Each structure stands twice: as C-alpha cells, then as structure tokens.
A and B are shown apart, each in its own frame.
Chain A
C-alpha cells in the first residue's frame, strides 16, 4: 500500500455562499466515512485561512525569525489536506476525483516517500 497526499487548492479571496459550503462540508464528511470504511483514511482536515499562518524561518547566523502571514502569498492557497493509503495512483486518483467533484476545486495528488 502507498500513502498519498491529496491537497485541495482554492482561490484566495471570495468565499462561496454558506449554503454551498454546507453542502460541500456534508459531502466531505461522507467521503471521509467512505475512505475510513475502505481502510484508506489516514488523516485529513480543512485549514483555516492563510492569514492565520505563521512562518518560522531559520536565520543565516542561527536562531529563527517568527513572522506573521503565509509563506507565500498567491492567487490560490492550500485549503485542506488528506492523507490516504491505497494500492496505487489509479485508486488515489479515483478518490481525488471525488474530492474535486465535491469541492469543485483542483486537487493535487502526491505520493509520500517510502
């Protein structure tokens, strides 16, 4: 079995209407149940907005600098992640497809090492 990171990328800025979000949340919960039932769920959750992020950056002469804000500002940001454990990429892509359909957002699938 192989572990994959499914990351959901969403546009920064405008939020969809609450009734749409409620629908998406329900679908995501159902998907999580399904993954768990298939023995494929490892971990996952949605993330708070990027402006809640804090960056800890090593400094050239030792120590770190702690700063407010995301590592990189962009038109898109990471909205949530899931780690799943499945047989191969085709199975991972099939789940990613479900997430993309549920969220109407692009989903990146990346294999973990090992």
Chain B
C-alpha cells in the first residue's frame, strides 16, 4: 500500500497516544448518542482496532478524533441495525405491529426485554434541554474532520454519581474516560481481575437499571456533585503517587491519567476554583516526582530532596493555577493544599521554606475542612516554625494511634528533642502500621540512623 504524503507514518505509539487522549472523548460521544455504555465501548474499541490496522499504512487522518468517532458511530449503527432486525423478527413472531413501526435501535424489543434501546428511548424522553438525537445528527458526527463535541463532562459526572460506590466510581472513570483495561485497573488497586470486572459490570448495570442520567449537574447541584468527581481524580493520583506496592508502570500511568483528567476538568469547568486547585496540587506534587525516589528505589523526604530535579515547567503551571485561584477568592481544601505545595516550591532550599505561611494555610484548612490528618500536618509545620516541642504538644493531643504517619511524626519530633528511646518506640509503632514496603523500609532506616547517631 502506498500511503499519502503524510508527514511520517504513524507508529504503534502514535496510535496509542491517540487512544490515550481520545478514547474517553469518543466513548462519551457515543454513550450520549446511544445511551448504552457497553455498545459505545465496543464500538470505540473496534474503531481503534481498525485505526491500528489502517493508520500505519495510510497515515494519520486529518482529525484522528473525528475519524475514530465517525468509524465507531458507523459500527454502532450497523450493530444496532442488525440487532434491531433480529429483535424485530423475534417480535414479529410474538405479535404483529400496526402502524407503529419498530424504531431503529432496540426499541423494537418486546416490553421487559431490557434492551439498550430502553436507555436511548428514556434518555430522549427527558425534559433535558439537549436531546440525544442532537448528538447523532450527521452534522455533528458525520464529518470525520469536523469538530467532535465534548461529552466527557456528562460521562464523568455519571461515572462519579453518588449512587455508585466510591470504588466503582474510580474504576468506571479509569475505564470509560481513561481507556484503562480492567486488568490494569485491577493491578493498580491490588484487586483480583475477576472482582474488578464484576465491580465494573455491576456499576454499568446500575447506571442502566436505576436510570442514572447522563447530564452535567446544574450550578445549584455542583457543590454536592463536584466533590466526588474531584475525590476520584485525587484518589487516582494518590494511588499512583503514594502506593509503593504494585507495578511501577501502572502507577506512573495512574498519575498521568489523573493529571489528564484534572486538565480535562479544568478545561471544561474553568471557573470552579476547586477544580483548578486540584490540578495545581497534582502538578506541584508531580513536579517533585523525579526527586522523590533515590537510585536504589528508596523514598527521599521533602526536606532531603534535590530540588534542582523538580520539574520547573510543572511548578510554573501549578503556581499560575494557584494564582488564578487566589483571584477567584473562593478557597477550598484542594486550593489550600495546592497553595501549601506552592510555598514549598518557592523555597530554593528546604531551610528557606516559609513555615509561617504554611501554618497559616493549615489554619485555614482546619477552618474549612478540619480533620486529624490536617491537624497532624499542621503540627509538623508548627514544629518547623516554633520548634519540636511545640509540634509534639499538638501531636500528642491527637487521637490517631492507628495511623503510621502519626507515629512517624512523633518519632521524628522525639528524635529532634533527643528523647531517643521514645523515638525508637514510635518508629517501631509506625513501621507496624505502614501499609507499603518502601515506606516501611524508610522508617526502619530512620530508626537505625537514630540508634547509630
């Protein structure tokens, strides 16, 4: 085959890159058009399979996203037509239709058959201002080079609907928006593949059977509906950043995916400061990633990190977002965490850190979203500002015996105060409670250093 004079033929990685960036958009458009998640997913996967076959020889189409959506949509319509013919035949055998000819799609299924057409029909019958028929309008989808409508916001709010369990929200978001395969998601969360597949199937069934709508919440609903969406993205990021067990590549991918989702949300909801705050937080934390692990894989704490290794581009982007949040002036927990990360990023050396400002930010955080973990972090900042005893007094007032972090902070402060045997015991308590091996290794090393010092 002779391809067109394309600027280089796309490699498998190029197709993969299009997959990563466009999968969620395509699924969202087709879910909107069909009201059926499984049908949409199958069609988009088929379209990418066709692309993987075709593009390396023929070159990338002018709009890969448009090509994928158009191809997927055609496949979906073919399938709906086939199934509709089959269903119509079955139905004919049961009873004869009069003037009401079978509708396209699976609406021709007999009552109670629970076909996907139920969803499509239902979605269309809403007082929803935008009819899903709009999305199937050839003007929107027929031109492979035309703009692809962005329906991802609807889909992410569906995936993170409070009627779904948080674990299912995370899995569905990664699967439908991120295009992660079920085994990848299972590995990332240390759950068996079968269990994860079951979780996803059940969540999709609930969306269909319980009638969870595909719609963006109204402004009035956002205060309740946005936090679970942000929590899911943050959890995906943390899982990738903090979890030390499991496949390194999968974890990197989780961080990348979380940042991608964060960027998407920021692009689609540019006036929601918590959305910007979450993105800023992830970028500023991600920026430290190159300095966070030593060559031997061990953990490097923030004060010991080589700050020249921090990714300056990400830091600059995160800072700019924090400034945008400040201008909007509607502070929230993610914005404050981002601001704290920005203060750390401002310090060229650890000893230049403006702890006074960090304590103030934690004070604000305690006022907005109080909790023991925030109080613990605040105590650490106070220890830096006013000395270890002041920090320890605050830590000892907390009831957090189950937390390894609590004991690790106590151990650190006791060590600084020269109360070595107490510090050793606190490190031991922290080691017992730490969930992951890298962290446990780190705590053990700190305890040993104390013994030798």
| Chain B residues within 8 Å of A89, by CB | 161, 163, 210-213
CB proximity to B under 8 Å, residues A54-97: 87-90, 92-93
Q: Closest residue of chain B to A1, judged by CB?
A: B125
Query: Assuming the A-B contacts A2-B122, A113-B112, A114-B114, are A93 and B163 also in contact, with contact meaning beta carbons closer than 8 angstroms in the complex?
Result: yes
Q: Closest residue of chain A to B213, judged by CB?
A: A88
| Chain B residues within 8 Å of A90, by CB | 212-213, 215
Query: B137 at the A/B interface (Cβ < 8 Å)?
Result: no
| Chain A residues within 8 Å of B211, by CB | 2, 4, 87-89, 92, 111
- Measured CB to CB, the closest approach of chain A to B399, in angstroms, equals 29
Interface size class of A (residues with CB under 8 A): 10 to 19
B interface: dominant SS? loop
Interface centre among B114, B122, B128, B211 (most CB of A within 10 A): B211
Query: B127 at the A/B interface (Cβ < 8 Å)?
Result: yes
In the bound complex, CA of A92 to CA of B111 (Å): 22
Pairwise interchain contact B114-A113, C-beta atoms closer than 8 A: yes
In the bound complex, CA of A4 to CA of B112 (Å): 15
- Measured CB to CB, the closest approach of chain A to B233, in angstroms, equals 21
- Measured CB to CB, the closest approach of chain B to A42, in angstroms, equals 15
Q: Select one of A88, A109, A113, A114 contacting B126, CB under 8 A.
A: A88
Query: B317 at the A/B interface (Cβ < 8 Å)?
Result: no
| Chain B residues within 8 Å of A4, by CB | 211
Q: Closest residue of chain B to A86, judged by CB?
A: B211
Pairwise interchain contact B127-A87, C-beta atoms closer than 8 A: yes
| Chain A residues within 8 Å of B215, by CB | 90
Query: B131 at the A/B interface (Cβ < 8 Å)?
Result: no
CB proximity to A under 8 Å, residues B302-333: none
| Chain A residues within 8 Å of B346, by CB | none
CB proximity to A under 8 Å, residues B91-132: 111-112, 114, 122, 125-128
Q: Closest residue of chain A to B128, judged by CB?
A: A87
A interface: dominant SS? mixed
Query: B396 at the A/B interface (Cβ < 8 Å)?
Result: no
- Measured CB to CB, the closest approach of chain A to B384, in angstroms, equals 45
| Chain B residues within 8 Å of A88, by CB | 122, 126, 211-213
In the bound complex, CA of A88 to CA of B121 (Å): 12
Query: B53 at the A/B interface (Cβ < 8 Å)?
Result: no
Pairwise interchain contact A87-B112, C-beta atoms closer than 8 A: no
In the bound complex, CA of A93 to CA of B210 (Å): 11
- Measured CB to CB, the closest approach of chain A to B116, in angstroms, equals 14
Q: Select one of B111, B210, B213 contacting A114, CB under 8 A.
A: B111
Pairwise interchain contact B213-A87, C-beta atoms closer than 8 A: yes
Query: B441 at the A/B interface (Cβ < 8 Å)?
Result: no
| Chain A residues within 8 Å of B161, by CB | 89
| Chain A residues within 8 Å of B112, by CB | 113-114
| Chain A residues within 8 Å of B111, by CB | 114
Query: Assuming the A-B contacts A89-B163, A93-B163, are A111 and B209 also in contact, with contact meaning beta carbons closer than 8 angstroms in the complex?
Result: yes
In the bound complex, CA of A93 to CA of B215 (Å): 15
Q: Closest residue of chain B to A111, judged by CB?
A: B210
- Measured CB to CB, the closest approach of chain B to A74, in angstroms, equals 23
In the bound complex, CA of A56 to CA of B126 (Å): 41
In the bound complex, CA of A9 to CA of B297 (Å): 53
Q: Closest residue of chain A to B118, judged by CB?
A: A114
| Chain B residues within 8 Å of A110, by CB | 210
Q: Closest residue of chain A to B112, judged by CB?
A: A114
CB proximity to B under 8 Å, residues A1-39: 1-2, 4
- Measured CB to CB, the closest approach of chain A to B91, in angstroms, equals 15
| Chain A residues within 8 Å of B210, by CB | 89, 109-111
Q: Closest residue of chain B to A2, judged by CB?
A: B211
In the bound complex, CA of A109 to CA of B112 (Å): 20
In the bound complex, CA of A111 to CA of B125 (Å): 17
In the bound complex, CA of A90 to CA of B225 (Å): 11
CB proximity to A under 8 Å, residues B213-234: 213, 215
In the bound complex, CA of A111 to CA of B127 (Å): 19
In the bound complex, CA of A90 to CA of B210 (Å): 10
| Residues of chain A having any CB pair with chain B under 8 Å | 1-2, 4, 87-90, 92-93, 109-111, 113-114
* Closest CB pairs A-B (n = 3): A88-B213, A88-B211, A2-B211
Instruction: Give 28 pairs: A residue, B residue, CB < 8 Å, sorted on A.
Output: A1-B122, A2-B211, A4-B211, A87-B122, A87-B125, A87-B127, A87-B128, A87-B211, A88-B122, A88-B212, A89-B163, A89-B210, A89-B211, A89-B213, A90-B212, A90-B213, A92-B211, A93-B163, A109-B210, A110-B210, A111-B209, A111-B210, A111-B211, A113-B112, A113-B114, A113-B209, A114-B111, A114-B114
Extra contacts besides A88-B122, A89-B211 (18): CB < 8 Å:
A1-B122, A1-B125, A2-B211, A87-B127, A87-B211, A88-B126, A88-B212, A88-B213, A89-B163, A89-B212, A90-B215, A109-B210, A111-B209, A113-B112, A113-B114, A113-B209, A114-B111, A114-B114
